[in-house]
Structure 1
Amino acid sequence: MVFFINTAACATLGTKKDIEMTQLHGEPAQSSGSLRLEEPATLVGRWIIAMQTGDCAVDFTARRIDSANAWAVEDVTGCLTASVPGVVGWRPTPDGIALASADRRTVVLFATGADGWSATLSGGPATLRRG
């Protein structure tokens, strides 16, 4: 895809660089300060939530739950439900990984940080890592 820019119009619309950054290969451009949204497919699999009460293994699945606007979380042992009631799914966000309820609310946000993903639960701090 090629865009031609009328540089005379740049004075009205912004700089040429601003205009070029508005679209790149058919997708909105991200500035270097933008947070990157992870592709859901890259997050599918086993995850460990480390909490003060111990580790909790869950599986982020590729099964979509449209009513929750999320992908299903499998919590076979029930440890997630015991610590964070109401979670049915997960979804990537620009800030990290959200655990969602059936009514689309974000119940917990594991925010991206230098040491991975972290959140504060009712029982204290928690970290999320691949299992």
Structure 2
Amino acid sequence: MMPTVSHGPPMYKFILVGIIFLFSGVSMASSLVLPSAETLSGQWTVSDKSKSCVVQLNTESVDSAGGYSLKFLSDCTPDVLPQEPAAWRPAPDGIALLDKDGLTVLFFSQEDDHYRSQIWAETGKILKRNN
């Protein structure tokens, strides 16, 4: 009588684990929705402690930056925005301000009724829609 040799767990366990990962990844990805430029367009205030500026997020495309146009409605000091953005783009988890080449100058993550940069530090700049 020859001994049986085990070569590890049956193949169906690997298939089951693969299916679980596949469906959990799909459900996680679909939980974040990309907002449209139309839903985010309008006047917003960017603030850093006691300094702030007002910016208009528009829906006109800026092809070179891969985003949408924006316009400053008040002076924006380097304390508030160290680099002046040329465009903006919605993201599933926030709003990105972009330079003329489409690189992110500053990213604001969604947090309750506003957006915040540097969420890990709790000292980031705030982006809030004006009423």
| TM superposition score category, shorter chain reference | 0.5 to 0.7
Unaligned ranges ≥5, structure 1: 1-10, 19-29
Cα distance in 1, alignment partners of residues 61 and 77 from structure 2:
19
Amino acid at match of 1:102: K
Which position in structure 2 is the counterpart of 1:125? 124
Which position in structure 1 is the counterpart of 2:49? 52
Q: Does the 8 A contact of 2:41 with 2:58 survive in 1?
A: yes
Shift of 1:98: 0.2
Amino acid at match of 2:125: A
- Shift >4 Å, 4+ stretches: none
TM-score by length of 2: 0.67
Q: Does the 8 A contact of 1:64 with 1:72 survive in 2?
A: yes
Shift of 1:117: 0.8
Which position in structure 2 is the counterpart of 1:107? 105
Q: Does the 8 A contact of 1:68 with 1:101 survive in 2?
A: yes
- 5 Å-filtered alignment, 1:79-118, equals 79=76, 83-84=80-81, 85-118=83-116
1:31 to 27, 34, 37: 27
Which position in structure 1 is the counterpart of 2:12? none
Which position in structure 1 is the counterpart of 2:39? 42
Which position in structure 2 is the counterpart of 1:70? 67
Unaligned ranges ≥5, structure 2: 1-14
Q: Comparing both structures, which one devotes a greater share of its residues to strand?
A: 1
Q: 1:80 to 1:130 in 2, by over 3 A?
A: farther
Which position in structure 1 is the counterpart of 2:5? none
Bigger Rg, structure 1 or 2? 2
TM-score by length of 1: 0.67
SS in structure 1 at match of 2:39: helix
